[in-house]
Amino acid sequence: MIPWQSKAIVIGVLAGAIGIHAAAAVEKFQKLSGAQIRAQFTGMQFTDEVHWGEIYEPNGRLVSEEMGRKRVGTWRIQKDQLCTDFGKDGGSNCYDVWMSGRKVELRTPGSSDLPMGGVLETPQKRR
């Protein structure tokens, strides 16, 4: 292969990789309404796919497992927000829900904190 051809191939591969990375970084998250939150979360698990998972049962029961520690609480929709309550074991919070495909971000209104991110999937046993 001629040296300039191999440089062109390397440059092409790098440009393609940068383009793919840039496209992934521009994911289009959309804020969900209360009805959309209920439709997406009911019976599903919100998880980082490794360390923790929260199962949003249809009856409003919320089962959370994080690094082998299990907690049970409740969930509800209030004013287009997902609200969770673990009582004295974790308090209560309400979040704006943003989605892009399976990816979910729970954002605390009025806070500059980073959102809690994960994916929605069919519930499965934690490893």
Averaged in consecutive runs of 10 residues, what is the pLDDT profile of the chain (127 residues)? Answer: 49 47 70 98 96 96 93 96 92 96 96 94 75
Do residues 59 and 73 lie in contact, with contact meaning Cβ atoms separated by under 8 Å?
A: no
Report the CATH number at residue 63. Answer: 2.40.128
Tell me if 5 is assigned to some domain.
no
Tell me if 10 is assigned to some domain.
no
For 77-90, give one letter per residue: b (16+ CB within 10 A) or e: beeebbebbbeeee
Tell me if 19 is assigned to some domain.
no
Range of the domain at 42: 29-121
pLDDT at 2: 53
81: which DSSP letter? E
Distance CA 121, CA 40 (A): 10
38's torsion region: left (phi>0), alpha (psi -120 to 50) or beta?
alpha
Tell me if 105 is assigned to some domain.
yes
Distance CA 82, CA 80 (A): 7
pLDDT at 124: 79
Tell me if 46 is assigned to some domain.
yes
Strand partners, 107: 96
Structural domain tally of the chain?
1
Tell me if 21 is assigned to some domain.
no
Tell me if 77 is assigned to some domain.
yes
Tell me if 69 is assigned to some domain.
yes
pTM given for the model = 0.76
* Token duo for residue 62: 């919320």
pLDDT at 90: 81
